[in-house]
Structure 1
Amino acid sequence: MDHVVDSGSIRSCVLPWLARVLYPLARRVVLPTYFGSVTIEGLENLPQNARSLLFAPTHRSRWDALVVPCAIGRPICPADLHFMVSANEASRGLQGWFIQRMGGFPVDTTNPSIASVRHGIKVLETGKALVIFPEGDIFRDGHLHPLKPGLARMAIQAERSHSGVHIVPIHVEYGSPEVGWRCGVRVMIGRSLPLAQYLDRPAKVAAPTLTQDLADALNQLAQSPTEPLNGSDLPR
């Protein structure tokens, strides 16, 4: 049976049979073949008591769309992953077919529609996991760019109607900006930000504060001492 989230004008689904094929294929064949090493750090930071998770990774390459779900998707995260994907990417031929059947739903990254935002909230309200790249675009310079404010507003609204939402910061880095053949990749998972702590603040203050806290968490991950990229930590 399809795992579907339907909020009216927008829906997203994960086909179980397709997920059972694609996750092992990517983890055992695609990523180990292309990358010289795949390192995952901080899995112990994933909260065990959260009702819904909103993953917020940095965005350094189109490879992120495969690397991130392989690092945190089933069985690591017990819930289906749903993704906010740019409308252009979600409508591209065969790629769009896979995106739409692996939890992706479209959003205009320059001017998100109310329907896309409401669907993101619906994903969290139904206990699924949501992945949003908070910078809104790919930046290859290795620096954190200003985060889009919509993620914080969406997360706080979801928390008000469905308590137990946590944001999980994720830093993704590659051995080279061009992400060439056999370079290394590291995924660093930070401590989650429980949304309940922001509800007692005025609405005009809560979202900017959360956005800044998330930016601080991502910068802290980027500055953490790390070991050389070596080996593979991908789940099987």
Structure 2
Amino acid sequence: MYIFNHSREKLQPKISPWLIYIAYILGFWIILPFYFGRLIIKGQENIPKNGSVIVTPSHRSRWDALIIPYAVGRVASGQDLNFMVSSSEMKGIQGWFIRKLGGFPINSKQLIGGGLDHSIEILKKEKMLVIFPEGGIFRGSQVRTLKRGTAHIVIDVKYQQPSNTVKILPISIQYSKFFPSWRTKVVVNIGLPMDITIYDFQDTKNDSERLTYELESHLKRLHTRHNIFEELNCT
């Protein structure tokens, strides 16, 4: 099993309800509508309303961190989101704000440590966790080969809490420009939650490979729909 190091000090949640409330107002009613030419969300009926959920979006821009809460956060699901954030982004005043808004640091080069332990604890408490499974921002229309971190976390949660039916929610974010600028159009396509009950989690290496491949396939199907901007009259 991919058992992470639980002897390290766990990260304590430091989400600020009032700051999140202000951020939602600014983001929903001012920043996103003002900056983008059009922002369309498809598939919100697919968002699980309860239980442990790993939200796994494609990652094309820093704007994704604002768009995902808009698409699946408090207003859409009734839940605040917890974000994995690169430890390099968690410094100074920026790091303070990120922590207060649900972010916590993760060292992407390690499979042990407080950040991953905290991810597991979030899911054991049946909350929503956001992971960008490509591992970074990638411009362009193609989904990159995914990291196996999502699968490892699912396996460890199932090992510690076998009754926990973790749901994985694939999401495609597409911009009409590779480098989103003023009046860029955005389409967010939320897929159906993946069914992990088909895995017995006895062969961890094989299961992590299969789960990662399945997630990648879901993201590619969502992300490469033909003429999506024309279909939605976003040209």
Taking structure 2 as the reference length, what is the TM-score of the superposition? 0.88
Q: Deviations over 1:173-200 (max 9, x none)?
A: 1010010111111111001013332235
Q: Which residue of 2 aligns with 1:100?
A: 99
Alpha-carbon contact 2:71-2:188 (below 8 Å) kept: yes
Q: Which residue of 2 aligns with 1:223?
A: 224
Alpha-carbon contact 2:155-2:204 (below 8 Å) kept: no
Which moved further from structure 2: 203-212 or 190-199? 190-199
- 1:80, CA displacement in angstroms? 2.2
- 1:221, CA displacement in angstroms? 0.4
Higher strand share: 1
2:89 and 2:190 mapped to 1: Cα distance?
A: 25
Alpha-carbon contact 2:60-2:138 (below 8 Å) kept: yes
RMSD: 1.8
Alpha-carbon contact 2:171-2:191 (below 8 Å) kept: yes
The unaligned stretches of length 5 or more in structure 2 are 1-7
Equivalent residue letter for 2:213: Q
Percent of aligned positions that are identical: 38
1:35 and 1:106 mapped to 2: Cα distance?
A: 29
1:30 and 1:229 mapped to 2: Cα distance?
A: 22
1:66 and 1:144 mapped to 2: Cα distance?
A: 20
2:79 and 2:195 mapped to 1: Cα distance?
A: 18
Which moved further from structure 2: 58-67 or 197-206? 197-206
1:94 and 1:114 mapped to 2: Cα distance?
A: 23
Q: Which residue of 2 aligns with 1:54?
A: 54
Alpha-carbon contact 2:155-2:201 (below 8 Å) kept: no
SS across alignment from 1:181: coil
2:212 and 2:169 mapped to 1: Cα distance?
A: 13
Q: Which residue of 1 aligns with 2:211?
A: 210
Which moved further from structure 2: 222-231 or 134-143? 222-231
Q: Which residue of 1 aligns with 2:22?
A: 21
Whether 1:135 and 2:134 are equivalent positions in the alignment is yes
Q: Deviations over 1:40-81 (max 9, x none)?
A: 001111234x51110000000011111111111102122221
1:167 and 1:224 mapped to 2: Cα distance?
A: 20
SS across alignment from 2:171: strand
- 1:16, CA displacement in angstroms? 1.1
2:14 and 2:198 mapped to 1: Cα distance?
A: 31
Equivalent residue letter for 2:60: R
Equivalent residue letter for 2:43: G
The unaligned stretches of length 5 or more in structure 1 are 1-6, 232-236
Which moved further from structure 2: 155-164 or 177-186? 155-164
- 1:224, CA displacement in angstroms? 2.6
How many residues are matched?
A: 223
Q: Which residue of 2 aligns with 1:3?
A: none
Aligned ranges for residues 121-160 of structure 1 at < 5 Å?
121-160=120-159
Q: Which residue of 2 aligns with 1:4?
A: none
2:11 and 2:110 mapped to 1: Cα distance?
A: 16
SS across alignment from 1:14: coil
Cα 1:86/1:112, change in 2 over 3 Å? farther
- 1:88, CA displacement in angstroms? 1.1
Q: Which residue of 1 aligns with 2:184?
A: 183
Runs of 4+ in 1 over 6 A off after TM superposition: none
